[in-house]
Amino acid sequence: MKELDPLILIAVFQEMLGPLLWLLLAVVLVGTVAFLALLIRERKLLARRLMWSQAVGLFGGVMSLVIMAKVSASGYTDAVGPADWILIAGVFLAGAIGTTILVYTLLGWLGSIVRQHAA
């Protein structure tokens, strides 16, 4: 493969993840829009909420590695080259960052709903 074609990448991910691919993409899209809306509404990041979100994000990174191992034909013992370990680190980081953003967003919107009903 001499050039990188996005359609080929989508086909590979579709083959690996099946319908889970489209669910994950929908979660990413909706989560990003909700996060941006929350930032616009609050106009700041709250340190306490971010700290808890990062703690949960570590679990999300681990779970992304578990999912990768389930859908992949190879295991972690097959990772021998630097590119393999960079990919594993990238999957962990993507899972951790994505989970952190989603948890921060959920806590923010749920907190505003609770405060609204309490008032």
pTM to 2 decimals?
0.81
pLDDT (average), residues 99-118: 90
In the structure encoding, which two tokens stand for residue 91, read together?
A: 């999957």
Residue 18, Cβ density class (10 Å: 0-12 exposed, 13-18 middle, ≥19 buried) = exposed
Residue 90 clears pLDDT 80, i.e. is over it: yes
pLDDT of residue 3: 76
